[in-house]
Amino acid sequence: MDLELTGRVAIVTGGSLGIGKAVTRELAREGASVVITARRLPALEATAKEIEDETGSRVLPISSDTTDTRSVREMVRTAAAELGRVDILVNGAAAPSGLVRNDVEDADPELLLADLDTKVVGYFRCAQAVTPYMKGNGFGRIVNIGGLTGRSSHALSGMRNLAVVHMTKALSDQLGPHGITVNTVHPGVVETEHIHELYEKEAAKRGMTAAEVEADFAARTPIRRVLAAHEVAQTICFLASPRAAAITGESLGIDGGLTRGIFL
């Protein structure tokens, strides 16, 4: 299926690693020009060169800090000036798995605030900054990368993902009349640079080895395996395309069936 992304301009936050990098690669393969942004410019530059060489699409690295409103607005202005427009925003800049995964007695409220500032308010800063450009085009796609901890109670940082879903629905109401859709995806257990850190942390908590934690995740997933980053990225690319014009305000798990809840 042609996703009709040729000539579109996308911004991917957290685009140098993991799912963000996979999203950048898929968007570039579909013919979009992509701005990737994060705090560390060397990592962004390495990713940009790798994907440009592979796909032939333009990948522009711009350093920014999504906890800083001025930095976000300057990044978006630069993206629009360099590439002429902004059509797509994929929000993914956040601490993997959250900063607060322990019990209430040991949880650090400042780390919880940092999680909310980076993922919830950070996503909002980016959405706010791109909105005028998308309204001007009469077209826009915002895809927020959430997480399954928003659908469970085992990690206090999961509240950030629940807040992202609420923000997604509110923004979809406001921006829908302007041709802009807003959706959230919740990746499951995905093979990325950070996943093995999660295995180690969970192993320490549960008295298991990291390999046993990984095997447990796979055994509890109906498809019986950990997901690949490109599988998440392909769904995000569809939601970022004109083909998904009728889908907005939704919250979609990309988890191989790991979520057991029923969402109407």
Kindly state whether residue 185 falls inside one of the protein's structural domains: yes
Q: Is residue 199 domain-shared with residue 112, that is, in the same domain? A: no
For 244-255, write each residue's pLDDT tens digit: 999 999 999 999
Share of the chain above pLDDT 70, in %: 99
Q: Is residue 174 domain-shared with residue 200, that is, in the same domain? A: no
Q: Is residue 248 domain-shared with residue 209, that is, in the same domain? A: no
Q: How many domains does the chain have?
A: 2
Kindly state whether residue 69 falls inside one of the protein's structural domains: yes
Kindly state whether residue 259 falls inside one of the protein's structural domains: no
pLDDT range class, residue 11, cuts 50, 70, 90: very high
Q: Is residue 167 domain-shared with residue 90, that is, in the same domain? A: yes
pLDDT range class, residue 135, cuts 50, 70, 90: very high
The mean pLDDT value for 202-210 works out to 86
Kindly state whether residue 13 falls inside one of the protein's structural domains: yes
Q: Is residue 154 domain-shared with residue 205, that is, in the same domain? A: no
Residue 100 is predicted with a pLDDT of 78
Share of the chain above pLDDT 90, in %: 72
> Which helix or strand (DSSP H or E) is residue 181 part of?
strand 180-187
Kindly state whether residue 260 falls inside one of the protein's structural domains: no
| Cβ atoms of 240 and 88 closer than 8 Å | yes
Kindly state whether residue 147 falls inside one of the protein's structural domains: yes
Q: Which residue has the higher pLDDT, 191 or 89?
A: 89
Residue 54 is predicted with a pLDDT of 97
Q: Which residue has the higher pLDDT, 259 or 4?
A: 4
Range of the domain at 128: 9-189+229-253
- Determine the Cα–Cα distance for residues 52 and 29; give it in Å rounded to an integer: 10
Residue 49 is predicted with a pLDDT of 98
Kindly state whether residue 258 falls inside one of the protein's structural domains: no
Q: Is residue 101 domain-shared with residue 218, that is, in the same domain? A: no
> Which helix or strand (DSSP H or E) is residue 60 part of?
strand 59-63
Q: Is residue 237 domain-shared with residue 181, that is, in the same domain? A: yes
For 83-127, write each residue's pLDDT tens digit: 999 999 999 998 877 777 777 878 888 998 999 999 999 999 999
Residue 3 is predicted with a pLDDT of 97
Q: Is residue 113 domain-shared with residue 14, that is, in the same domain? A: yes
Please tell me whether the overall predicted TM-score, pTM, comes out greater than 0.85 for this model.
yes
Report the CATH number at residue 16.
Answer: 3.40.50.720
Residue 133 is predicted with a pLDDT of 98
Q: Is residue 146 domain-shared with residue 207, that is, in the same domain? A: no
Q: Is residue 102 domain-shared with residue 201, that is, in the same domain? A: no
Q: Is residue 92 domain-shared with residue 105, that is, in the same domain? A: yes
Residue 210 is predicted with a pLDDT of 86
| Cβ atoms of 13 and 38 closer than 8 Å | yes
Angle, CA 193 vertex, CA 230 and CA 205 arms, to 5°: 120
Distances (CA, A) of 147 to 1, 2, 180, 238, 251: 27, 28, 22, 19, 10
- Determine the Cα–Cα distance for residues 103 and 12; give it in Å rounded to an integer: 33
3: its two tokens: 């996703």
For residue 183, pLDDT over 90 is answered with: yes
Q: Is residue 104 domain-shared with residue 221, that is, in the same domain? A: no
Kindly state whether residue 56 falls inside one of the protein's structural domains: yes
